[in-house]
Copies of this chain bind each other. A is one copy, B any other.
């Protein structure tokens, strides 16, 4: 419990440092957006972030949410999550590119390694003649909490 709290706090600090070292100013709108997303264990879209962040900073504008998301994505601190119903939500990423594991019930998002893909990529490459440069892999299911209900 404490472990993960520390981890979230580190993430928050890291994001703020990244913005700063890129020359971006540290403003209250950006801070509240970061506070929402850096501590979330599920993907959130702009409207959800807006609603949540306005509880702490009620004059926040929706447009600033979009602008902050833009910057965090540019710095590869967050990534877009694709879902059958849509693709407008974002999750904090530990490193640039990670594979996602999504709970269909509660939305909990986890990451996993997918190094085992290399042989498959090699096979598909030679079969298809494609030069494969990038890939997406996402798993969907029920997290340990939701599957036991």
Contacts and interface: CB of A to CB of B under 8 A. Distances in A.
A129 interface: yes
A144 B130 contact: yes
Interface size class of A (residues with CB under 8 A): 35 or more
A contact face: mostly helix, strand, loop, or mixed: strand
Contact of A131 (B80, B134, B135, B141): B141
User: So how many copies of this chain end up in the complex?
Assistant: 2
Interface string A126-142: 01111111111111111
Contacts of A139: 121, 124, 130, 132, 134-136
A81 to B, nearest CB: 10
A103 interface: yes
